[in-house]
Amino acid sequence: MEYVLRTPISEQEVRMLRVGDLITVDGLVVTLRDAGHKRAIEYLKSGRRLPIDLSGLILYHMGPVVRMGERGWEIVSAGPTTSTRLEQYESDLIKKTGVRLIVGKGGMGAKTAEACKRFGAAYAIYPGGAGALAAEAIESVEKVEWLDLGIPEAMWILRVRGFGPLMITIDSTGRDFYGERRGAIEENMKRMLESGGLWR
Amino acid sequence: MLTEEGIRRYVVELIRAAATHLPEDVKASLRRAYELEENPLARRMLAAILENVELAGRRGRPICQDTGVVMFTVRAGERFPMLRRLPGILRMAVAEATREIPLRPNAVDMLTGENTGDNTGDYVPWIDWETVPGEDYAEITVLLKGGGSEAASGVTVLTPSAGIEGALKFVLEVVKEAGPRACPPLVIGVGLSGTAYTALCLAKRALLRGMSSHNPRPELASLEERLLKAVNMLGWGVHGVGGGATALDVRMEASHRHPASLAVGVVASCWAFRYSAMRIRRGKVEFLVHRFLNEMEAA
How far, in Å, CA of B160 to CA of B194, rounded?
Answer: 10
A37 tagged catalytic: yes
Q: What whole-number distance in Å separates Cα of residue A62 and Cα of residue B113?
A: 18
Does residue B129 share a domain with residue B172? no
What is the reported pLDDT for B210? 87
Classify residue B10: in a domain, yes or no.
yes
Q: Write down the pTM of the prediction.
A: 0.94
In this predicted structure, what is the pLDDT of residue A145?
98
The answer to whether B150 touches B203, Cβ cutoff 8 Å, is no
Whether B93 and B210 share a structural domain = no
B272 touches chain A (CB under 8 A): yes
Residues B84 and B131 in one domain: yes
Below-70 pLDDT ranges, chain A: 197-200
CA dist., res. B42 & res. B39, Å (int)? 5
- Total domains in chain A come to 1
- Chain A residue with Cα closest to B52: A133
Span A46-69, pLDDT tens digits = 999 999 999 999 999 999 999 998
Number of domains in chain B: 2
* DSSP codes of every residue in chain A: -EEEEESSPPHHHHHH--TT-EEEEEEEEEE--HHHHHHHHHHHHTTPPPSS--TT-EEE----EEEEETTEEEEEE----BGGGGHHHHHHHHHHH---EEEEBS---HHHHHHHHHHT-EEEE--TT-HHHHHHTEEEEEEEE-GGG-TTTSEEEEEEEEEEEEEEEE-TT--BHHHHHHHHHHHHHHHHHHH-GGG-
Query: Is B112 at the interface with chain A, CB within 8 A?
Result: no
Q: Provide CB contacts within 8 A for B212, sequence distance 6+.
A: B25, B29, B249
Q: Are residues B169 and B261 in the same domain?
A: yes
Q: Which of A74, A76, A148 is the best substitution to test chain B (most B C-beta atoms within 10 A)?
A: A76
> Which is nearest to B290 in space by CA: B6, B3, B4, B20?
B20
Buried residues in A179-195 as b, exposed as e (16+ CB within 10 A): eebbeebeebbeebeee
> Cα separation of A162 and B26, whole Å?
28
Q: Which of B268, B274, B289 is nearest to B139 (CA)?
A: B289
B109 within a domain of the structure (yes/no): yes
How far is Cα A154 from Cα A57, in angstroms, rounded to an integer?
A: 17
Same domain? B8 vs B106? yes
* B125: containing domain: 4-20+63-146+274-298
Query: Measured in Å, how far apart are chain B's first and last C-alpha atoms?
Result: 19
Asked if B105 reaches chain A (Cβ–Cβ under 8 Å), the answer is yes
Residue B58 forms part of a structural domain: no
Give the model's pLDDT for residue A179: 95
Residue B267 near residue B203, CB atoms below 8 Å: yes
Q: Which of B31, B20, B54, B29 is nearest to B247 (CA)?
A: B29
Chains A, B: CB pairs < 8 Å: 161
Q: Are residues B124 and B183 in the same domain?
A: no
What is the structure's pLDDT at B103? 96
Residues B79 and B189 in one domain: no
According to DSSP, the β-strands at B154-158 and B186-193 are unpaired
Chain B residue numbers touching A127 (CB-CB < 8 A): 45, 48-49, 52, 239
- Quote the pLDDT of residue A199: 60
In the chain, the amino acid numbered B124 is: V
Is the CB of residue B33 less than 8 Å from the CB of residue B238?
yes
Kindly give the parts of chain B with pLDDT less than 70.
Answer: 297-299
Q: Are B212 and B77 in contact (CB under 8 A)?
A: no
pLDDT score recorded for residue B212: 80
pLDDT value of residue B55:
97
Q: Do B176 and A186 touch (CB under 8 A)?
A: yes
Shortest CA gap B233–chain A (Å):
7
What per-residue confidence (pLDDT) applies to B92? Answer: 98
Q: How far is A103 from chain B (nearest CA, A)?
A: 14
- Residue B198: inside a domain, yes or no? yes
Which residues 72-101 on chain B approach chain A with CB closer than 8 angstroms?
Answer: none
Chain A hits for B52, Cβ within 8 Å: 127, 129-133
CB contact under 8 A, B61 and A132: yes
- Indicate whether B69 belongs to any domain: yes
Whether B86 is in a domain gets the answer: yes
Same domain, B14 and B127: yes
pLDDT at A198: 62
Q: How far is B83 from chain A (nearest CA, A)?
A: 33
Q: How far apart are CA B116 and CA B124, in angstroms?
A: 11
d(CA B57, CA A58): 29
Beta bridge pairs of residue A122: A101
Same domain, B211 and B102: no
The amino acid present at A142, given as its one-letter code, is E
B137/B10 same-domain check? yes
CA gap B246, B175 in Å, rounded: 9
- Quick check: is B44 in a domain? no
Does residue B232 lie within any of the structural domains? yes
Indicate the helix (H) or strand (E) that contains B48: helix B40-59
- Which CATH number do you get for residue B203? 3.30.1330
Q: pLDDT digits over A6-19, tens only?
A: 999 999 999 999 99
Is the ipTM higher than 0.90? The answer is: yes
Domain holding A29, by residue range, is: 2-199
Q: How many CB atoms lie within 10 A of CB B257?
A: 17
How far apart are alpha carbons A189 and B235 in whole angstroms? 9
Verify that B278 and B134 share a domain, yes or no.
yes
Residues B239 and B154: beta-carbon distance below 8 Å: no
pLDDT reported for residue B299:
58
Shortest CA gap A91–chain B (Å): 20
Would you call B229 an interface residue with chain A, using a CB distance cutoff of 8 Å? yes
Residue A5's Cβ-count burial label (10 Å; 0-12, 13-18, 19+) is buried
- Residues B10, B123: one domain? yes
Count helices and strands in chain B by DSSP H and E runs: 8, 9
